[in-house]
Amino acid sequence: MSNILKWDNLTPAIDKAFAIWTGRYEQQWAKRVWGKIIERGLADNSTELERHRAIVRFVTLAAIYHDFCELAWDESAWHEYAYWTEDLEISPFHLGQLIGQNPEWQDPDDNEILAEHAFRFLAERERNQIYKILIDCFGDVNRLYDSLLRTTDPYVDEYADTEGNQHTEANTPYNEIPAYGWLLDGCQPF
């Protein structure tokens, strides 16, 4: 086992978690961010527990991306953590170890949805760290926003709001765009 969870090791999950658009530009975007996660030493694969921690960071990145798509283009942001990771040999035991005895954790009544709840709980705890990596990767919120817009088409120059109104950087202040405001607020779950 390699000591780093590389992008290629996540292929089955990538094809599920980053598959909103037909051009798959979002996968190129996510791969760039994953490189920064590796650079920061946050994709450790040396033990099963660390591999699971790295997978949580991967699904956190996917959840942030899905949230952005809902705000920017009204695409569903339903996070399907269990589906995204079903081919990655996830162990409920290791997810439980990551949760530990955190008093905020509430065990679901249904064991069928245990992994989904565990990933949601753990991903929410990782959001701030992944947000900092996103800013580091792209330089600032403006560039992060622009990079996310280009995941539908790398040549896009305008933003269409949910009513279909076209906006360009020249005629709409960023702070009037909901997805941009959400980025400014640190990509918090909603």
Contacts of range 184-188, beta carbons closer than 8 Å, 24 or more positions apart = 184/141, 186/127, 186/128, 186/131, 187/64, 187/67, 187/68, 187/127, 187/130, 187/131, 187/134, 188/127
Q: What is the pLDDT of residue 70?
A: 93
Q: What is the pLDDT of residue 43?
A: 98
Report if residue 2 sits inside a domain.
no
Residue range(s) defining the domain that contains residue 43: 7-184
Report if residue 18 sits inside a domain.
yes
Instruction: Count how many domains the chain has.
Output: 1
Q: In this structure, what token pair is assigned to residue 52?
A: 């699971």
Report if residue 166 sits inside a domain.
yes
Report if residue 118 sits inside a domain.
yes
Report if residue 88 sits inside a domain.
yes
Report if residue 25 sits inside a domain.
yes
pLDDT in tens, 90-130: 999 999 999 998 888 987 877 678 889 999 999 999 999 99
Report if residue 23 sits inside a domain.
yes
Residue ranges in the chain modelled with pLDDT below 70: 1, 111, 154-176
Q: What is the pLDDT of residue 98?
A: 96
Report if residue 189 sits inside a domain.
no
Share of the chain above pLDDT 90, in %: 66
pTM of the model: 0.88
